[in-house]
Amino acid sequence: MIYAGILAGGVGSRMTGATVPKQFFPIGGKPILVHTAEKFLMCDKFQKIYIAVVGGYLDLAQSMIDEYIDKSLAARISVIEGGGDRSGSILKVIERIYEDGGDEKSILVSHDSVRPFVNLAALEENIRLISGGCCDCAGTAVPSIDTVFEIDKGGFVTSIPDRSRLCNAQTPQTFTVGEFLECYGRLSPADKAALTDACAVFLRCGKRVLTAKGSSDNIKITTPFDMKLAESILNESSNFHGFSDI
């Protein structure tokens, strides 16, 4: 079985003047979280779509789903309480997967709630890679277009990695729940504290992580500038049919 986990546990600390977490901000007349959920509803492969929400905002998230998403479609969505960090929210989703009849071979497609422009192709490629046994974890990415400096604590450049081998990581990131639990359980507390995404859980255990093709539109909304960019992407998608899969 295949499940989706939309991770909405962030508090939006980098969004100046925010009174609620950024995933609840409106773009194009709808909350970011709703836009993201709608993209996942486009994929009919998901048994269930879990939205793991920061504590204290479950009722708000549920009310937004109820208001903006047709009742027949919303039946595929469960709003649950997230964990203290990304991995904690993934663990909460996995817990619900087991409660709802899934097992260790169940596939979980995890995604940032504040990436509302993920497309169907990325979701399906993530699922294909894991279903086909090509890797232990699929991580969506786009080639880096910038030269990257590696610096020391004093700000001095120590190396300039070959850009042709660099990618910018995105989500979704996909894996079987049993593999995630096995790898996460092997990590030390220090390793767990240093995690920034699910792919790192697998890499630290020597597992195979393969990249799925992302897109430049699949931005993560983090700052006020990103909000303006998101509105621009939405405006373009309404004006040009070529963006209809966003």
pLDDT-derived band at 14 (thresholds 50, 70, 90) equals low
Among the ranges given (9-13, 171-175, 178-182), the one the predictor scored with the smallest mean pLDDT: 9-13
Say if residues 111 and 6 touch (Cβ distance below 8 Å).
Answer: yes
Strand pairing report for 2-8 and 48-53: parallel
CATH (domain of 46): 3.90.550.10
pLDDT-derived band at 241 (thresholds 50, 70, 90) equals very low
CA distance 169 to 109: 15
For the stretch 67-77, pLDDT in tens is 999 999 999 99
Global pTM value: 0.92
Number of domains composing the chain: 1
Q: Which residue has the tokens 């079987």?
A: 176
Supply the pLDDT for residue 242: 43
Tell me the mean pLDDT in the region 53-78: 96
Is the pLDDT assigned to residue 225 strictly greater than 70? yes
* C-alpha count within 13 angstroms, C-beta hemisphere, residue 245: 10
pLDDT-derived band at 13 (thresholds 50, 70, 90) equals low
**Residue 186 structural domain:** 2-243
For the stretch 132-149, pLDDT in tens is 999 999 999 999 999 999
- Angstrom CA distances, 238 to 37, 38, 68, 74, 172, stand at 18, 16, 18, 24, 24
**SS3 of 69, please?**
coil
The percentage of the chain sitting over the pLDDT mark of 90, rounded to a whole number, equals 89
Q: Which residue has the tokens 């899934």?
A: 102
* 1 or 20, greater pLDDT: 1
